[in-house]
Amino acid sequence: MSDFGFLKTHRTWEDWCGMLVGALIVASPWFPVQEEAIAGHQTVILNTVAIGLVVFGISQLEYVALQRWEEVATILVGLWLIASPYVIGYSGEGFLRIYHTSLGAVVVLLGILQLWQDWDMTDQDLLKHGQ
């Protein structure tokens, strides 16, 4: 039962994990399997790079100065990444849809975990994160 306490505290490795996922999102259009599928889809590339940079940036902010809005923004951006293939119209691209759905789910789950961990913390406790 003591292992469950490990998930009750927001740790800096979660922020580093968010940064890594953000970098993977930025690189996902250029994964070897996707090179031909996204040729000429500038909107898909721009959307993916923007989402990846936002996830990376929010994770860096969480590492430096933790606030609750960052977790909410992370969840919303992850949900947009999941919806992007269907809204933008590249849901038939196979692996890219699977990559974005999977990476979006990881972002959403990470955001939910961090929001749950920080729910009862005071503003002073949030400021102490990472120190």
Q: Where are the domains of the chain?
A: 12-127
Instruction: Please count the other Cβ atoms lying within 10 Å of the Cβ belonging to residue 86.
Output: 11
Query: Per-residue confidence at 24, pLDDT binned at 50, 70, 90?
Result: very high
Q: What pLDDT is recorded for position 80? A: 96
Structure tokens at 32: 């070897």
Average pLDDT over residues 78-98: 86
Task: Give alpha helix (H) positions in the chain.
Answer: 12-27, 42-64, 68-84, 95-118, 123-127
- Region 49-73: mean pLDDT is 88
In the numeric block, which tokens belong to residue 83? 């919806």
Quick one: the chain helix, strand, coil %, rounded to 5? Answer: 80, 0, 20
Contact call for residues 90 and 97 (beta carbons, < 8 A): yes
Provide the 8-state DSSP code for 9: S
